[in-house]
Amino acid sequence: MTTRRFVLSLAASLLAAGLVSPALAQSSKLMNPAALTEQAPATYKVKFDTSKGAFVIQVTRAWAPVGADRFYNLVKNGFFDNGRFFRDIAGFMVQFGLNGDPAVNAKWRVARIPDDKVAQSNTRGMITFATSGPNARTTQVFINFGDNGNLDRMGFAPFGRVVSGMDVVDKLYSGYGEGAPNGAGPDQGRIQLEGNAYLTKSFPKLDYVRKATIEK
C-alpha cells in the first residue's frame, strides 16, 4: 500500500471510530483528486450558504458532462467551503473556486479535465468553469452577471444556472475589482500559494462560502 493510500485508509478508519473529525477526513480526501471522479446525477442542485445569504445552482449534466462531474465531486467533498469570491467584476461575472488551504490548491491546480462542447450560452445566472486554454479546467468557476455570449466561442461551457438567490450573487462584494496584475484585486498566484491567510489579511471585505451542499 502506498503512503497516500495508507493515510486515506487510516483517516477513514479513525472517522468510523469517532476519533477524527469529519472536516479532517474530508480534507484528506481533497488531497487526492484522482480518487474523486464519481459520476454526477443527470440533474442536481447545490445550495451555497454564503456570508451574504444563500443561493441555489441547478446543474444539468447533459450540458457539460465533464464539468458537471467535477463540480459534483468538489461540492460533495467540501472543496468550496470557506472559499472566497475572489474576483467580482460588476456587470460581468463573479469567480471563485480556490481552496483556503494552499496544500489542497497544490494538488488540484494540476488536476485538469478535458473540455466540454459548448451547448448553452453564458447568459445571466449561468455557471461555467474558468480556463486558461484548451483542456485546462481545474476548480475555478464563475457565475455570469449579464449576457456574456462572447465567451461561448472561446470554449467556456456552462454546466448549470442559478435557480434561486441571484439577488444574493448580485450583492457579493465587488469593491476590489479585477485581480492583479491588471487590477488592484487579489493575485491568483498568491491565493494558490498562501490561501485564505493572504485573502483575509489583504482583502478582508471579500464574501465567502460558508458551506456548499448537494440538496437531496
Same domain for 72 and 15, yes or no, is no
Same domain for 179 and 74, yes or no, is yes
What does each C-alpha distance from 173 to 7, 34, 194, 204, 210 come to in angstroms?
Answer: 38, 33, 21, 10, 15
Quote the mean pLDDT of the chain. 91
Same domain for 73 and 136, yes or no, is yes
Domain count, the chain: 2
pLDDT tens sequence across 93-102: 999 999 999 9
Residues 6+ apart with CB under 8 A from 175: 205
Asked if 199 and 169 touch (Cβ cutoff 8 Å), the reply is no
pLDDT at residue 1 in the model? 52
Same domain for 25 and 83, yes or no, is no
Q: Which residue has the higher pLDDT, 20 or 16?
A: 16
Same domain for 109 and 2, yes or no, is no
Same domain for 97 and 136, yes or no, is yes
Residues 6+ apart with CB under 8 A from 192: 98, 102, 105, 106, 109
Same domain for 52 and 153, yes or no, is yes
Distance CA 74, CA 68 (A): 10
The predicted model gives 188-196 an average pLDDT of 97
Same domain for 68 and 159, yes or no, is yes
Phi-psi region of 59 (alpha: psi -120 to 50; beta: other; left: phi over 0): beta
Where do we find the cell 479585477? 178
Same domain for 1 and 71, yes or no, is no
Same domain for 8 and 78, yes or no, is no
Same domain for 53 and 22, yes or no, is no
Domain residue limits at 18: 1-30
pLDDT at residue 21 in the model? 41
CATH number of residue 93's parent domain? 2.40.100.10
Same domain for 52 and 87, yes or no, is yes
